[in-house]
Amino acid sequence: MRRFLTVFIVLAAWSSSAVAERQSGKVDASVARLGALNVEERALLAPHLAHGPVLLTEFKNRQTDLPAVIYAARIHAPATTIAGVIGKPAEYPRFMDALTSVDIREVNGQMTAFDWSWGVTLFSLTGQNVMTSYPGDSTRGYRFDIRTIAGDLGIGRVMWRVYPEGPNRSLVVFASRLDMRDANYITRQLASEGNAVNRTVNVAVAMVTLLEVKAEAERRAGTSIDGVYAAKPLRRPQVDMYALRSLLSRGDLVFMDMDGKTLHSVAVVGRSGASERRVRRVMLDPEEFGKSLLHGTCAEVVERSERGTRFEWEIPIPLLHVGGEMILRPSPRVVSVDGISGTLSKGRWRFDTYRYPGGEAGVIAWAIFDPADSPKLIRKLIAGNTYFSHGFVAATQLAVMRSLRTRVHLLGR
């Protein structure tokens, strides 16, 4: 249990937003409505889906203070094949590496109740789910509603939607909301960190689930891509910020560039709610920007030169050293931050802004880093599970956007 606590303290420290998002006792997470992507939104995201999964991490709304995370991924398999993978939980342990067991408790018509256990290197979790399978076909698509009613991940709800795009291609949209604040003593203590812990766990666990379903469906369809791919150069993503403005009013978007299991880069885009001048003021200040990279960071400039501004950063976590040295290279447009030594020494981050009509700044951030380039505890956490590592990268990049937005708003006070 101590290991379990330590893992989530580290995740919270790496992925928390700078201002705690408090619990307000709104609608239960197992019944609150889960968002989706309409036809127009799916069309807007199509160019990005060609490169890898897309995540929309919603903001708070009036119904619930635990917003959903909505994933979309293109899967090269018939919709019927994908439905066969999702709709048979008894078979999950055969292809989900972290899922150690599923015990079917009851089947009643379209409803299936099952218990599960899930584990990675350092800890294991258990829970109880109820799945409802709705009528569907290869033309209309399929829908599955899964409610988590008890367990170490608390309560929550998952909605799978499978949209056929042809005989051997489908779009899968996977919405997830977990409320682990009252799951056990440890999660109740971590509730003081706000929604960031819930969001991190949502992103990481759901990423594993989605990518393993994708891999299994493509294996069954004979379209799976194996092998290790050479790393691509880190390039600015082609993003139409104006076209995405309505989606970005719902939440931040994360774009993943992948080939098979190889993750090339992760980009996050969002609206700042502030002027471009104020956003760039934070981006061009190494101490302020260093604090924005990860919540809880202490940053101090050690050298200014023509090459850029070197700064040391550290997250004070007992018994761990999370920190190192980075260099910030400002420019009129793209701001570069590169790791030099310590944690994330091989990481590279790039930031730019987009000015909306009216003056609000949108932020575009893209990066590549390896979570294994980190303290031993985190290396153990992701060991042997590539998809969990990818989820951790996505959650961390998302946290950078939220932390930067918070620093910008604090600057305006």
- The mean pLDDT value for 287-297 works out to 64
Q: What is the rounded CA–CA span in Å between residue 321 and residue 327? A: 19
Residue 55 domain-assigned (yes or no): yes
Say yes or no to pLDDT of 83 above 80: yes
% of the chain exceeding 70 in pLDDT: 77
pLDDT score for 53: 96
**What's the CATH number where 380 sits?**
3.30.530.20
Say yes or no to pLDDT of 75 above 60: yes
Q: Which of 187, 221, 255 is the last residue of a domain?
A: 221
Q: Which of 205, 221, 237 is the last residue of a domain?
A: 221
Work out the pLDDT band at 348, boundaries 50, 70, 90: very high
Higher pLDDT, 257 or 225: 257
Higher pLDDT, 11 or 293: 293
pTM for this prediction: 0.86
Angle at 139 between CA 138 and CA 143, to 5 degrees: 70
Residue 231 domain-assigned (yes or no): no
Give residue-wise pLDDT tens across range 167-182.
999 999 999 888 776 6
**Farthest CA pair distance, the chain:** 69
pLDDT score for 139: 92
Q: What is the rounded CA–CA span in Å between residue 304 and residue 309? A: 4
Which of 204, 171, 244 minimizes the C-alpha distance to 69?
A: 204
The answer to whether residues 326 and 265 belong to one domain is yes
The answer to whether residues 129 and 92 belong to one domain is yes
Residue 238 domain-assigned (yes or no): no
Residue 73 domain-assigned (yes or no): yes
Name the strand (E) or helix (H) holding 242. none
Give the domain range for residue 263.
245-411
Residue 225's CB: how many other CB atoms inside 10 A? Answer: 13
- Round the average pLDDT of the chain to a whole number and report it: 82
Give residue-wise pLDDT tens across range 117-166.
876 555 677 889 999 999 999 999 999 999 988 887 778 899 999 999 99
Count how many domains the chain has.
Answer: 2
The answer to whether residues 149 and 282 belong to one domain is no
CA atoms within 13 A on the CB side of 32: 22
Give residue-wise pLDDT tens across range 191-233.
555 566 667 777 888 888 899 999 999 999 999 887 778 888 9
Residue with tokens 């990005």: 48
Higher pLDDT, 296 or 371: 371
Q: Which of 206, 221, 236 is the last residue of a domain?
A: 221
247-268: string of b/e by CB count within 10 Å (b at 16+)? bbebbbbbbbbbbebbbbbbbb
- The mean pLDDT value for 270-291 works out to 85
Q: What is the rounded CA–CA span in Å between residue 308 and residue 326? A: 10
User: What residue type is 315 in one-letter code?
Assistant: I
Say yes or no to pLDDT of 273 above 90: yes
Are 251 and 59 in contact, with CB atoms under 8 Å apart? yes
Give residue-wise pLDDT tens across range 374-393.
666 566 666 667 887 888 88
Say yes or no to pLDDT of 17 above 50: no
Higher pLDDT, 186 or 101: 101
Angle at 8 between CA 313 and CA 212, to 5 degrees: 105
Give residue-wise pLDDT tens across range 19-61.
334 444 455 666 667 888 999 999 999 999 999 999 999 886 5
Work out the pLDDT band at 395, boundaries 50, 70, 90: confident
Helix, strand counts (H, E) of the chain: 11, 16
Residue 232 domain-assigned (yes or no): no
Percentages helix, strand, coil for the chain (3-state, rounded to 5) are 30, 35, 30
Q: What is the rounded CA–CA span in Å between residue 45 and residue 91? A: 31
The answer to whether residues 25 and 68 belong to one domain is yes
Angle at 72 between CA 69 and CA 78, to 5 degrees: 140
